[in-house]
Structure 1
Amino acid sequence: MNARTSRVLQCSAVLVAAGLVLTACGSSDDSSSSGAPKSASFSGRGPITFAAAKDSSGVVQKVIDGWNKQHPKEKVTFVQLPSDVNQQRQQMIQNAETKSDAYTVLSLDAVWTSEFAAHQWIDQLPAGQFPLDKMLKPVVETTKYRDHLYAVPQSSDGGMLYYRSDLLKKAGVSAAPTTWADMQAACAKVEKLPEAKGMSCYAGQFQKYEGLTVNFSEAVNSAGGVVTDAGGKPDVDTPAAKKGLDFLVDSFKDGTIPKEAITYQEEEGRQAFQSGKLIFLRNWPYVYSLAEKSKVAGKFAVAPLPGLTGAGSSTLGGHNVALSSFAKNKATALDFIKYFTNHDSATTFLKEGSAAPPYADLYDDQALAKQYPYLPVLKKSILNAVPRPRVVQYGDVSSAIQQEAYAALNGDKSSTQALKDLQEALQKLSAQ
């Protein structure tokens, strides 16, 4: 996906892959011949669409139904895209490249904002019409491109460690692990229990898709390494980065991570944990409400991700809502974005979908924290998360990471060779 609070999306932290990054730091771009951001004309009212990933919680449709009831002549149709993040991005880009108006409002992974803005696939939004000052700063920063607003936070995300608190307690483990070694030691104790027969220790998201980029980056950062240095240049071929990748590679070799986890995305990991196959799982907060409705209800808890020598670092996740440049009925779309991202909607997504809210006050509400005990852990995860770069060529960067990390996990390359090849690939991309 944490003790690095200084990394909250300051410009120095997001200048990743020099030459690729076009962020709010004032880099030039091709958004127009004059370099000025593209302004939108918010006119037209009528039916619109909302394109987002398939919603396993059912909350998205519920919120949309609330809008539709109030606006019968401006109904929103929920277009559910594949669960796979790469496929979502591909379909949105294909839609944009053909200048189709099939998608009106887009749910973007937080890291896509700059890419979509730079290519003029989404419109600049009026910042003064949204309560951005009431939202967590790291989350708001993911919505900007060249210091202009191009999306609005709908949710944030921070990786957390889900664990079987009942089994740890029975095995005599008094606290959640803070290091990888502690986690493996806890597993060794739990696996001796009759109730743990056939269980595996740990899993995350390791299929060759965006989740692997996240899990690889978290492992590297949690071992004290970086994918790029403070100056924005690729710096992944280092001893610290190798320790992070080695943790994943060695865990597949020694069985800490089950072999089938090489196929896991978020949902496969969630289902494995809920069905009692895993002691520990790295996943996002949405899992919490679903796990509470499963056979492990009341038997699990969450903690910060572990690292090499202490608490690890999550990757900053989340989804931002943007307006397609090619859409019709943009006046309706702007109003829907306000509705979909307002405080009430965020509260609904939190209560019914375990979605990480962008609004700061929801994390500090004692009544909510009592009802949703993961909130303090989640807030810490988000504020201390290491952001992914907001890059125009993010797809190429992420694909390079996935290719080399997957090769190492599969045993096709050594960690040393994979990191060397990744360093070369990122350097070539940064030179383009």
Structure 2
Amino acid sequence: MRRTPLIGMLAGVALTLAACGGDGDGNGGGNAGGGLTGRGPITIATGKDRSGNMQKMIDAWNAAHPQEKVRVIELPDEPNDQRQQMIQNATTRSDAYTVLNLDVVWTAEFAANRWLVELPEDKLDLKALLPATVPTGQYRGRLYAMPLNSDAGLLYYRTDLLKKAGVAGPPKTWAEMWAACDKVRALPEGRNVDCFLTEVGKTEGLTVSTAEAVASAGGTIVDASGKPAVTSPQARAGVEFLVGAMKDGRMPRAALTLDGEGGRRHFQAGKLLFHRQWPYQYELANADDGSSKVAGKFAVAPIPGQNGPGTANLGGHNYAISAFAKNKATALDFIRYMADAKQQKADSLATGKAPTVAALYDDPEMVKKFPFLPTLKTAIETAKPRPAAVRYGDVTAAIQGAVYDALGGRATSDKALADLQTRLAQLATS
């Protein structure tokens, strides 16, 4: 997610889409920890370990547990592809994957299909975590995944260019952002700088961007009763923010094909004024090895909204145990090891990933290295998660398809949202 590690805006309410999932005992349910037996080698299925720090942490585990070594299985970069490979593994009841590094929004789908074992809450320190992160690992009041990394969207902005243009600080509203952009573009240094970028390619990132834009306009994709609400004026305003940015040239056409890493490279090359991105970018963009042209020239703020500060999407990754894996007792111990505050701090310092342990947001060493941590903590605490949906793949595909058509000019915002309302209603009753 960062990719987090993204539908709707609703905090803690599961879509009626989730209501058809199973419950009770079985491969994915039953008594907490009841099936957590067996010791020996295990695997972890995860996205790319670009920093190498995950492997470093696992090497330390392996050195201390020579009979219970962990092997990393790296999955593709794109979250949709990661999810598909994990589902394929589960539907064949394969024991190839032991620990699953899940996007927070997949918990309901995997738990409802009994692809996960329930985790024993009395053996995991949930009280140490940011409260907002705990529900991301739960399904129907039971814990199926341990929150390991959190995430919330942030606005990265070029302090040097804003200062040169006489702009006092980061924008709090969309209108302020466009006004600042116009001033920067009037400078010789700003002529070839794109104004704004958020993920709008036809990937999970577009679901995130849509969710944030709709919430930041005061709307929601799913209302409190679990019914689709994308035809509201507020939801339309959020989508129109994205469509208008593309139409007016404030967001480059290249955004339609850029993923999160492509956007990061665009920002680090000095070609972007405002960038909605996850916390992991901070460390990379501040690198002093020549890989970033904006090191020391940017800062981080809350994302802007229609009438004031916006509402970020809650992302992150959680560790779960496959219902079909061997050596589940080892897997639980490994998850406890990775979730420990000491390990989370070391990982955050090395990679810039947001921890889930609340105390780390006030840790002096952490705050010194990442001055934006107070901003991030507030963003996580006020962020809105995507609804838990058993048929999440269908839901996010519907959002991506509708909004991508509007962005590309193949449908008006009203037509795209009307079609999306119909499709989400169908999914909610099927």
Asked whether the two chains share a fold, i.e. TM above 0.5, the reply is yes
Q: Does 1:198 align with 2:196?
A: no
Partner of 2:4: none
Query: Could you tell me how far 1:77 is from its partner in structure 2?
Result: 1.0
Ranges in structure 1 where 5+ consecutive residues have no aligned partner = 2-8, 23-27
Q: State the 1:31 CA deviation.
A: 3.6
Q: Tell me if the contact between 1:16 and 1:228 (Cα under 8 Å) persists in the aligned partners.
A: no
Distance 1:32 1:137 in 2: 26
Tell me if the contact between 1:187 and 1:201 (Cα under 8 Å) persists in the aligned partners: yes
Q: Is the 8 A contact 1:17 1:427 kept in 2?
A: no
1:34 Cα deviation (Å)? 8.7
Cα drift, residue 16 of structure 1: 4.7
Structure 1 residue 14: Cα displacement:
3.4
TM-score (norm 2): 0.94
2-structure distance, mates of 1:16, 1:131 = 24
Aligned residue identity for 1:50: I
Asked whether 1:316 is paired with 2:300, we answer: no
Letter in 2 for 1:183: M
> C-alpha separation between the residues in 2 aligned to 1:231 and 1:35?
30
Aligned equivalent of 2:18: 21
CA–CA separation in structure 2 for the residues paired with 1:209 and 1:29: 25
| C-alpha displacement of 1:390 | 1.3
Displacement of 1:42 in angstroms is 2.1
> Relative to structure 1, is the Cα distance of residues 100 and 423 closer, same or farther in structure 2, using a 3 angstrom cutoff?
same
**Structure-1 separation of matches of 2:265 and 2:224:** 38
* Partners of 2:375 and 2:256 in 1: CA distance: 27
Give the SS at the match of 1:51: strand
Query: Within 2, Cα distance between the matches of 1:150 and 1:386?
Result: 20
- 1:139 corresponds in structure 2 to 133
Distance 2:381 2:39 in 1: 38
Which of the residues 341, 344, 362 maps onto 1:343? 341
> Pick from 176, 179, 182: which aligns with 2:176?
182
2:36 to 42, 53, 56: 42
Large movers: runs of 4+ above 4 Å? 32-36
Contact map agreement 1:135 1:360 (CA 8 A) in 2: yes
Residue of 161, 165, 182 corresponding to 1:171: 165
- Give CA-to-partner distance per residue, 1:264-290, whole Å, 9 cap, x none: 221111010001111111111011111
Spell out, residue by residue over 1:376-426, the C-alpha distance to the aligned partner (whole angstroms, 9 max, x if none).
111011000011111211111111111101110011000010011111111
Kept in 2, the 8 Å contact 1:208–1:406? The answer is yes
Match of 1:384 in 2: 382
Cross-structure match for 2:224? 230
Aligned residue identity for 1:21: A
Q: State which drifts further: 153-162 or 45-54.
A: 45-54
Identity of aligned residues (%): 52
Alignment counterpart, residue 92 of structure 2, candidates 69, 76, 98: 98
Cα 1:34–1:342 shift into 2, 3 Å: closer
Query: 1 CA distance for matches of 2:95 and 2:330?
Result: 14
Q: Is the 8 A contact 2:28 2:323 kept in 1?
A: no
Counterparts of 1:232-381 in structure 2, within 5 Å, are: 232-293=226-287, 294-381=292-379
Structure 1 residues 240, 77: CA separation in 2 closer, same or farther (over 3 Å shift)? same
* Range with bigger deviation, 292-301 or 214-223: 292-301
Q: Over aligned residue pairs, what C-alpha RMSD do you find? A: 1.8
Residues 21, 390 of structure 2: 8 Å contact kept: no
Letter in structure 2 aligned against 1:345: Q
Task: Give the drift of 1:196.
Answer: 2.5
1:402 aligns to what SS in structure 2? Answer: helix
SS in 2 for 1:345: helix
Q: Deviations over 1:336-386 (max 9, x none)?
A: 111111111110121111111111111122442222111011101100001
| Structure 1 partner of 2:416 | 418
Deviates more, 1:84-93 or 1:354-363: 354-363
- Partners in 2 of 1:208 and 1:183 — Cα distance? 25
1:73 aligns with 2:67: yes
What CA distance in whole angstroms lies between the structure 2 residues aligned with 1:356 and 1:134?
15
The alignment partner of 2:297 has SS state of coil
Paired residue for 1:409? 407
Q: Which amino acid aligns with 2:18?
A: V
Calculate the TM-score normalised by the size of structure 1: 0.93
Question: Is contact 1:57-1:290 (8 Å) kept?
Answer: no
Q: Retained in 1: the 8 A contact 2:132–2:381?
A: yes
Q: Distance in 2 between matches of 1:347 and 1:15?
A: 30
Paired position in structure 1 for 2:393? 395
Deviation at 1:309?
0.7
Amino acid at match of 1:304: P
Q: 1:197 to 1:58 in 2, by over 3 A?
A: farther
Contact 2:196 2:250 in 1 (8 A): yes
